[in-house]
Structure 1
């Protein structure tokens, strides 16, 4: 009996091994080179223990092969993936060969039934649908609308200053959590600018909005487990879908949207003219034109809420971290800002995006801490690609194509001393455009699906930086780590252990 049991166990172990490894010949058959995968994890050795950020594993592969090939074949568990290691090929994926790679991998994981809000975000939509949705929402964020709400941005900046002054009267020994502070700023700012509502994020009794946002972007183990399972058993994507936006969070934002709509319509019904033409004004016009209900309007609006809350807060907090580490750069930026302050102590809208060193500091912060450290694209039509020292190969429809932005932006070949904060990299004329066209800098993505809210986000980040640096000296609290290591489990790029800063009033 024991012999039979052992034989069965060995048979099961053998079958399991064959099942987990039978696909490992996928790239070899297509003459695409790449590192040998491991059973269970493929080429992501820290997939289960999460002790190291996945982008570092990809960077190891990138550095090994970058001088030999344009792309290599890797595996997420047992699922084949194509890792782009040539910036020129990355540029092709996003721009010149966009029609072959126009969908994002996450589109496979959600649908209207599993997650109505995220499934209707332009990031998740596929084919022509994303074009229609992008065409719907883009007019809501023109420069004229951003300018209209710019006074609101400055009001929120002043609230942030008042909040900071209260904090530093009895400063916590561990410093102030810069990410939490930045999220308070973006929550208040975006809620007001987009919905015309107050989040009261800097008050003693904030509304629940920020709590729901923090919950939304907190990567749960269930979320991680889903990616592991579908990487091991890709067919399950057709059966089980991902819910990125929890149901209670969806219900909250639908109700919030209805509150905003009711408040605006009540103002109009009483004959009161609203003093700005903002995004809500536009979205209500769109809703009337297309007969959209509140849930559909929320899905349209969440495009800006999802992008505007967490990612903008991430860039702002990391920029303050980098400025806090370098007093010389901080003072240089402060001097540029102070030379252009208006009588009201702010930078006029027409000038905020014309300060070269301010823009350079933002772009360099994006390079070191890009909110999206990589992009997972889908091949939507078969395409033959060259491979430098290797043979030409065909990328088949449905293949996941990974573009590791981090690897390019932290490569000393393109950015000498890459871990150093050097805004002067972006001071030469059209530096951002030059780096983007080389394929080595994609702070907001590139091509037809470049971030919709880019100009809005940049304006908010710069306004907040102006406010903080004119009112405070920024220093890094000893609790903050000294290097740029990423938090292993973070969905949006975050410094490991958090960003803890000390602020000293200058006035």
Structure 2
């Protein structure tokens, strides 16, 4: 009996300590912001400003947006997380300073999943000079000339999708499933040199490995939340968020492919080949004289190599391929799903796009890297999709050396940031701010027409981020998305079915951007 009482008392003590800790950090957050004259929404202990998303009552980006909207005249506002405080930057000029002009003060991302094999050593998680050197190493893989070589692989896979859809016209189609299989197969080919058709072989090993990465079970969700509360917890406990079996699969795939190509003198214009050159220190950054944008949203490479070429370990290189898969599989599929969904519920936009594509198709034998920019309305449609449903909800930046922020409003004090402090640039909120985009919920591709895009205020459209830390694979993503949208609209009329949601509401039980109830439509083969 005495032992049971001791255990009960110990549990009460632990529980009380946890409660006291969270109440203390909650009050400390308020004190920090009050002292500096920064406005904030109080939130609740433990959850801060993320209670609704934690309870799955709204999407995480909507929790950020609620704080963003609460103080429309502020340059920045406080966002209270579980045990930390961040600043949501609302002013585009200040975003420019943080991400570009004064980038040397904000070179790093927050440390998440540092203990995670492969992802923990990826470009996103790298810091300082190591990040700079890896970025310079990888940038030659994403130039226009390299994308031109990779595009035929994308075209072949997009043809597989069209043939599959022809066999299922006028059936209810789950866009999420189709688009994820497409992006999976594109990455398998362009990244790993594998020929995969996930529509015929639905449970192939490569596709199932990707599914295991993004379908978190209850334990993984708890670990993800624990990481947000205690960023160093997983590192201390040496817990890996991603399944060990999946990590081993990707590691073996990369190393075995490199070894096979080395032994058999095989070369293929893909990411693996470039990393093999990097591992030997022979991959050089050369200027691409024919560098070409493939859309208004494409980012420009800012980072240049400096000093001696760094040689990378095989583990470090595996991490970059792993990141390439994570980014390309989910983000591009999300944009594709929302784009086709919007075209379905906006038939006038769909018809205007079809007429452009039809006219283009009559003049050109095929869609190529050199003529893809002629499809200007397609670019507008894609830009509007990424504005309204940006897959990168926020850009986080960590202060690495002291920095002075201007006052959040006239008459207030400046704010001194110290190393370790971090800020959020809320892309979703800025993209949906009526100050920059009137009637933001309206799907209006003409916002990005040649006649109107000059009206877009700089640093208010950032689907691939901005500055040196922008998305290195923007050209790759734009090409694979445009290719498939082009072929789908050319071949099919997109129709609503009973399960098509209109208007679209965000699914609240996931971190990714997707429609509540899924995106279901029908396709009718055009005559």
TM value normalised by structure 1: 0.88
Report the 3-state secondary structure (helix = DSSP H, G, I; strand = E; otherwise coil) of the residue aligned with 2:145: helix
Equivalent residue for 2:183? 186
Report the 3-state secondary structure (helix = DSSP H, G, I; strand = E; otherwise coil) of the residue aligned with 2:325: helix
Distance 1:15 1:197, change over 3 A: closer
Q: Distance in 1 between matches of 2:231 and 2:121?
A: 22
Give 1:145 shift: 1.4
Give 1:38 shift: 1.7
Distance 1:429 1:268, change over 3 A: farther
Deviations, residues 224-270 of structure 1 (Å, cap 9, x unaligned) = 4335435545664763466343321111112222343355346537x
Matches within 5 A, 1:181-260: 181-204=178-201, 206-233=203-230, 236=233, 239-240=236-237, 243-260=240-257
Equivalent residue for 1:163? 164
Which one of the candidate residues 385, 393, 399 is aligned to 1:365?
Answer: 385
Conservation of the 8 A alpha-carbon contact between 2:176 and 2:519: yes
User: Which is worse superposed, 226-235 or 443-452?
Assistant: 226-235
Which one of the candidate residues 485, 500, 504 is aligned to 2:505?
Answer: 485
Equivalent residue for 1:474? 494
Distance 1:234 1:145, change over 3 A: closer
Alignment partner of 1:286 is 2:286: no
Q: Distance in 1 between matches of 2:496 and 2:264?
A: 46
Give 1:192 shift: 1.0
Report the 3-state secondary structure (helix = DSSP H, G, I; strand = E; otherwise coil) of the residue aligned with 2:462: coil
Distance 1:347 1:364, change over 3 A: same
Which one of the candidate residues 423, 427, 430 is aligned to 2:449?
Answer: 427
Distance 1:164 1:344, change over 3 A: farther
Conservation of the 8 A alpha-carbon contact between 1:217 and 1:491: no
Equivalent residue for 2:135? 134
TM value normalised by structure 2: 0.85
Give 1:153 shift: 1.6
Conservation of the 8 A alpha-carbon contact between 1:40 and 1:78: yes
Which one of the candidate residues 427, 442, 455 is aligned to 1:405?
Answer: 427
Conservation of the 8 A alpha-carbon contact between 1:21 and 1:39: yes
Report the 3-state secondary structure (helix = DSSP H, G, I; strand = E; otherwise coil) of the residue aligned with 1:150: helix
Report the 3-state secondary structure (helix = DSSP H, G, I; strand = E; otherwise coil) of the residue aligned with 1:419: coil
Equivalent residue for 1:76? 81
Equivalent residue for 2:150? 149
Equivalent residue for 2:94? 89
Conservation of the 8 A alpha-carbon contact between 1:200 and 1:206: no
Report the 3-state secondary structure (helix = DSSP H, G, I; strand = E; otherwise coil) of the residue aligned with 1:239: helix
Deviations, residues 70-103 of structure 1 (Å, cap 9, x unaligned) = 1122311232121222222222222222222221
Equivalent residue for 1:52? 58
Q: Distance in 2 between matches of 1:142 and 1:71?
A: 36
Give 1:16 shift: 5.5
Conservation of the 8 A alpha-carbon contact between 1:218 and 1:491: no
Q: Distance in 1 between matches of 2:219 and 2:31?
A: 30
Conservation of the 8 A alpha-carbon contact between 1:104 and 1:378: yes
Q: Distance in 1 between matches of 2:370 and 2:36?
A: 54
Distance 1:227 1:247, change over 3 A: closer
Give 1:32 shift: 1.9
Equivalent residue for 1:501? 521
Conservation of the 8 A alpha-carbon contact between 1:87 and 1:439: yes
Matches within 5 A, 1:36-47: 36-47=42-53
Equivalent residue for 1:462? 482
Distance 1:345 1:207, change over 3 A: farther
Give 1:479 shift: 1.3
Q: Distance in 2 between matches of 1:344 and 1:497?
A: 39
Alignment partner of 1:320 is 2:323: no
Q: Give RMSD over aligned pairs.
A: 2.7
